[in-house]
Amino acid sequence: MPPATAPDMRSQMRQNDHSSDASARRKSPGQQSPAQAEGIASGEMTTVSLKVNGTEHTVTLDNRTTLLDALREKLQLTGPKKGCDHGQCGACTVSVNGKRINSCLSLAVMHEDDEVTTIEGIGTADDLDPMQQAFIDHDGFQCGYCTPGQICSAKAVLEEIRAGSPSHVTEDLTARIEVTEAEIRERMSGNICRCGAYANILAAITEVAEERA
């Protein structure tokens, strides 16, 4: 279901609801600026500074705006994708202070002064990140929609293993975690690729892991 509006939010919306002429079938958008309209439609606004891919941005947004929407709609960083908007598909994966998160499940206002890295901050055409190059070499995509999320996740997976953070399939919690296929599969299982390019995605990640080792 679309996220149900909680009763308290609804009442808040009604209180805030002082739009003009309810009987008009069509209102000119000019009667209220989009920003005003958003402000009225939503709750409180906050100005937040986000450090994304090394650049500071100051944006004023509804407190309920997700980090994903802030990136895509306020900062025009459209690399992170909206797949399910539920934290279930992984297409919106970005890195925050070095840890991967589903940016659709996090509010932008929570990230004041955090270091956010999106796919746009990982490499350039002249200087691709090794993970990006490996995805090209191994054909680790088809439609490409999940790819930014896969790559952000894949880079984080190798960091997590290196940092000794265990997963569901880690057998010995006291030993150094090996980069095994089982570990990579398990840790990448939050990123759906509906085209089913998994074999190639795993091959790409494994290659980068081996080059590093």
Least Å distance between CB 42 and another protein? Answer: 7
Q: Name the minimum Å distance from CB 74 to another protein.
A: 12
> Looking at beta carbons only, is 81 or 111 nearer to another protein?
81
Classify residue 103 by burial, with Cβ atoms within 10 Å: 0-12, 13-18, 19+: buried
State which residue, 50 or 65, has the beta carbon closest to another protein: 65
From 98, 163, 194, 212, residue interacting with another protein (rule: CB under 8 A): 194
Site for another protein in 112-131 (CB under 8 A): 118-120, 122-125, 128
Binding mask 36-65 for another protein (x = CB under 8 A): -xx-xxx-------------------x---
Asked if residue 155 binds another protein (CB under 8 A), the reply is: no
Site for another protein in 78-107 (CB under 8 A): 78-86, 88-89, 91
Report, in Å, the least distance between residue 196 CB and another protein: 3
What is the edge-to-edge ordering of all strands in the sheet holding 93-96?
55-62, 45-52, 115-117, 93-96, 99-102
Is residue 144 a contact point for another protein (CB under 8 A)?
yes
Residue 186 in contact with another protein, rule: CB under 8 A? yes
Q: Are 64 and 104 in contact (CB under 8 A)?
A: no
Q: How big is the CA angle at 102 (ends 100 and 106), to the nearest 5 degrees? A: 110
Query: Minimal distance in Å, beta carbon 1 to another protein?
Result: 6
Measured CA to CA, the distance from residue 48 to residue 109 in angstroms comes to 6
Cβ 110 vs Cβ 66: under 8 Å: no
Task: Tell me whether residue 1 or residue 174 sits nearer to another protein (CB atom).
Answer: 1
- Relative to beta strand 115-117, strand 45-52 is parallel
**In angstroms, what is the minimal distance from the CB of 67 to another protein?**
15
- Label residue 83 exposed, middle or buried (CB < 10 Å: 0-12, 13-18, 19+): buried
